[in-house]
Each structure stands twice: as structure tokens, then as C-alpha cells.
Amino acid sequence: MRFAQVHCAYPMPLLVIVSSFISLIGTAGMVSAQLVIQQADPNLIQIDEQFLFRNIFRTVSSESQAASKLQSVLNVQIDQTTKSLDLTPQQRAKLALAGDIDIADFMHELKAAQPAKTQLTQREWSELHAKMQPLQQKISAGLHRTGSLFQKVLSTNLTSEQLEVYQDLEKERRDRQYRGAVMATISMIDGQLPMTKGQREQLQNLLLTKANLLDSMPDDYLRVYAVLYALSTISEDDLKPVFNEKEWVAIRQLRIQGQSMRSMLIQRGVNLQ
């Protein structure tokens, strides 16, 4: 009989439990909906804690990953430099120390730029971008390249023979990067102004020999603008014979576009001669 009573009583508590469960889901939904409404403030810009790292390093999303990536790149740079210049252990140790200091300085700047909150006003957003830009430029140009302590130590601790070899290697690297960007830009022009093999060769030759060369190449889409700027520095007498009259009108338009890129390229840290 006792069991029978219990059997009869089961449906009611079960119903209470089920209805409580449904109620909880519904109430949670209502609460979360209210949260969404609160977050959707059009005056605030939502970012997450990884925002800064992702925007500067692209494939890195935390401080430790950033430091680890910079250290790995430094190790490779020191190894490659040691091999090509036959560095002594003392020279290598000095370079490693200088590279470590560059990384520490950069990480300090990075921490200072990290926003304290995840919802920013338009003004705070602009300020964050202003802080991010020089950091992005440093990474884009290579943390241990131009202007770094690593470079200073390198240039002051190498023998004259080592320094000559190093400068030759760097020039070769820069020329390789510039040639790739020149060919890519010519190929892009080719998509709308189709050139013959001869025209492409002449244009490439002029860009490699007659244009104002760049001391450093950006590593993103600015490469195209850098080459368009270089195009604008070639004399008209050299360039015009490559194209017919109709094509020359289009090339002149590109030269104007390239000239207008000058200030932007300088602002982004590209060294123009």
C-alpha cells in the first residue's frame, strides 16, 4: 500500500521538477536577452582581451605567445647571422643580449598599449589605434631590423669584412623582396591593361633600375603602393615609349596615384630614398 501511495504521488513532483526546468531555461533566456540589449550600446566598441595581440601579431593571441614568437624569430636571426658571418661566441652573446632587450622593450610598450577594459568609446578606440600603429610598424619592419639595439650592436661589433658581407646580404634580401613586389604589381596592371611580354620586361627593367629604390619594403598590401610610387619616380622620357597613346593615359593615372601614396608610405615607416 505504501508503494501504491508513492506511485500515485510521483507525477506531481516530477511535474514540479520539469516545469521548474523549463522555467529556468525561459528565465535564463530572458536574462540573457536583457544582457544583449545592454551590450548593444551603439556608442561603445566591444573588443576582447586578445584584440591587441591579434592585430599586431596576426597569428598570436596572448602575451606569452607573443614573447615566444619574438624569441623564436630572434633565435633564427642570430643563427642565420652566425652562419653567414662566422660570428665568434662573444659576438653572438652580445647580439643575443641586444635582441632580448629589444624584445623586453617591445613587450613593455605592448603592455602599456593594452586597454584596461573591453568596451571602448570612439575616442578610446582611436587612441588604441594610435598606440597600435607604431607597434605594428615595428613588427612589420622586423623587430630586430632598422633602428633596433640588435642592429646597433651588430654594426659596432662586426669586423669590417663581416660588415661588408652583412650589408651585401641585406641588400640582396631587399632586392629580392622589391623584385617580387614589382612583378606582382606589373601582373596586377596586366589584368586591366594587358601587356605583351616585351612591355612587361621593359617596365620591370625600368622599375628595377630607373626608379627611386626603397630602403625598406613593407610586408603587406602597401608593397603595391610602394611600387606605384616607384613608378611615379621614373622619368616620362624613359617610361612613355613602352606604351601606346591610349595606354599612356592609363599609366599616367597610375603615376598620379603612386605619387599620392608618398606621405602615406612615409607615415607607415617605409624609407623612401
Partner 1 sequence: MTQPFHCPAAATWAKRIKGNRQWSTVWCLILLLLPINSGFGADNILQGVFKALGVGARQAIVRPAKPVEIEVINQFSPMLNKILDVELYFVQKVCQPNAEQAARLRKFGAGEVVTLAKLMAENQNQENTVDPRQLLTKALGREIEKVCSAEAAKRYREEMSGRLDYKQAAAAGLMLANMDRDLFLSPDQAQKIEGELHQNWKPEWSRNLQGLMYPQYAPWPDAKLIQPHLTPEQSQLITHQNHGGIQFGWEADAGFNGWVNLSNFVSQLHDIEPSPQEQK
Enumerate residues 132-161 that contact partner 1 by CB under 8 A: 142
Closest to partner 1 by CB, 29 or 134: 29
Does residue 83 belong to the site contacting partner 1 (CB under 8 A)? yes
Q: How near is the Cβ of 91 to partner 1 at its closest, in Å?
A: 17
Residue with smaller CB distance to partner 1, 187 or 267: 187
Local structure of 215: helix, strand or coil: coil
For 111, the enclosing helix (H) or strand (E) is helix 89-113
Question: 11-45 as b/e, with b when 16 or more CB fall inside 10 Å?
Answer: eeeeeeeeeeeeeeeeeeeeeeeeeeeeeeeeebb
Q: Does position 92 bind partner 1 by CB under 8 A?
A: no
Contact between 27 and partner 1 by CB under 8 A: the answer reads: yes
Number of C-beta neighbours around residue 220 at 10 A: 11
DSSP E strands, 19-153: 45-46, 119-120
The reply on whether position 71 binds partner 1 by CB under 8 A is: no
Cα angle value 72/73/78 (rounded, 5°): 100
User: Cell numbers at residue 173, please?
Assistant: 634580401
**d(Cα 169, Cα 183) in Å, to the nearest integer?**
21
Shortest reach from residue 163's CB to partner 1, in Å:
17
- Number of residues this chain uses to bind partner 1 (CB under 8 A): 80
Q: Mask: binding to partner 1, 154-193, rule CB under 8 A, as x and -? A: ---------------x--xx--xx-xxx-xxxxxxxxxxx
Residue 162 CB, nearest approach to partner 1 (Å): 15
Q: Out of 114, 118, 159, 253, point to the residue binding partner 1 (CB under 8 A).
A: 253
Q: Which stretch binds partner 1 (CB under 8 A): 74-82, 94-102, 125-133, 152-160?
A: 74-82
State how far the Cα of 181 lies from the Cα of 84, in Å rounded to an integer. 26
Give the residue among 269, 191, 197 at the shortest CA–CA distance from 226. Answer: 269
Chain positions 212 to 241 lying near partner 1, rule: CB under 8 A, are 217, 219-221, 223-225, 228
Region of 23-31, 37-45, 119-127, 265-273 interacting with partner 1 (CB under 8 A)? 23-31
Q: From CA 18, how far away is CA 253, in angstroms rounded?
A: 72
Contact stretch for partner 1 (CB under 8 A) within 95-103, 105-113, 121-129, 245-253: 245-253
